[in-house]
Amino acid sequence: MARTRQPELTRAALLDAALAVLRDHGAALSLDAVARAAGVSKGGLLHHYPTRDALLRALGFALIDDFRHKLDAAHAAELAAHGPARGAWLRAYITLTFTPDQDGEALHAALAPLAGHPALLAGLSEAQAFLLTDAEADGVPPGTAHAIRLACDGYWMGDLTGLPRLNGTQAQALRETLTAWTR
């Protein structure tokens, strides 16, 4: 990576490198591997992210932000295709849940090591508070809206938690059922 006096660009490049390392090596991410992937010294990495947890936390925030942009785009596509009918946001959430995404897998890998650090997770939880408010604002009864979102989250996080994975037929049945609940 070329030297830059634009720290925000450097931090973005370091997060891109961390994402690439997570994709290749999972949660075994090391600061040395990230520095190598970014083409900087370990000291350069530590200047911006003084600990592995700080790097993973920043990556978690970046991936949440990226997910929110993808969700906004999927919601806009749902609105364009079907108008402002109730459940449009939840259908977009369902669509993203059942669409394979390497960044989602990277988010799992980034968040897993933070599970034992409630203070670090607190900020990430606050950054995702929109999931509650947007689900409730979608015109579906709140209990149904949260059941849909939590079912999607459980499906999405199954690999991280070691839950048995649904086969293709089972996943499609779940997706159809959740979609029907949005109407």
Tokens 């997910």 correspond to what residue?
67
Residue in 140, 142, 170 with CA at minimum distance from that of residue 155: 170
How far is residue 132's CA from residue 22's CA, in Å, rounded to a whole number?
Answer: 28
Helix/strand/coil for 138: coil
The domain locations on the chain are 1-50, 56-181
Q: Measured between alpha carbons, how far is 7 from 109 in angstroms, rounded to an integer?
A: 25
Angstrom distance (rounded) from CA 132 to CA 138 = 10
Between CA 137 and CA 22 the distance in angstroms is 34
Instruction: For residues 55 and 118, give the distance between their C-alpha atoms in angstroms, rounded to a whole number.
Output: 16
Max Cα separation, the chain?
54
Task: Give CA–CA dist 107/103, Å, rounded.
Answer: 6
Instruction: Give the model's confidence band at 114: pLDDT under 50 very low, under 70 low, under 90 confident, else very high.
Output: low
The fold of 1-50 is Arc Repressor Mutant, subunit A (1.10.10)
**Helices marked H in the chain:** 7-25, 31-38, 42-48, 52-82, 88-97, 102-111, 118-127, 130-136, 142-161, 168-181
Share of the chain above pLDDT 70, in %: 86
Amino acid at 23: R
pLDDT tens-digit readout, 4-29: 578 888 899 999 998 888 878 776 77
Percent of the residues in the chain that have a pLDDT greater than 90, as a whole number = 56
What does the H/E/C string look like for 147-173? HHHHHHHHHHHHHHHCCCCCCHHHHHH
Q: Which of 12-21, 85-94, 103-112 has the lowest mean pLDDT?
A: 103-112
Other beta carbons within 10 angstroms of residue 138's beta carbon come to 23
Look at residue 52 in the predicted model and tell me its pLDDT.
87
Select from 91, 71, 81, 69 the least CA-distant residue to 139.
Answer: 91
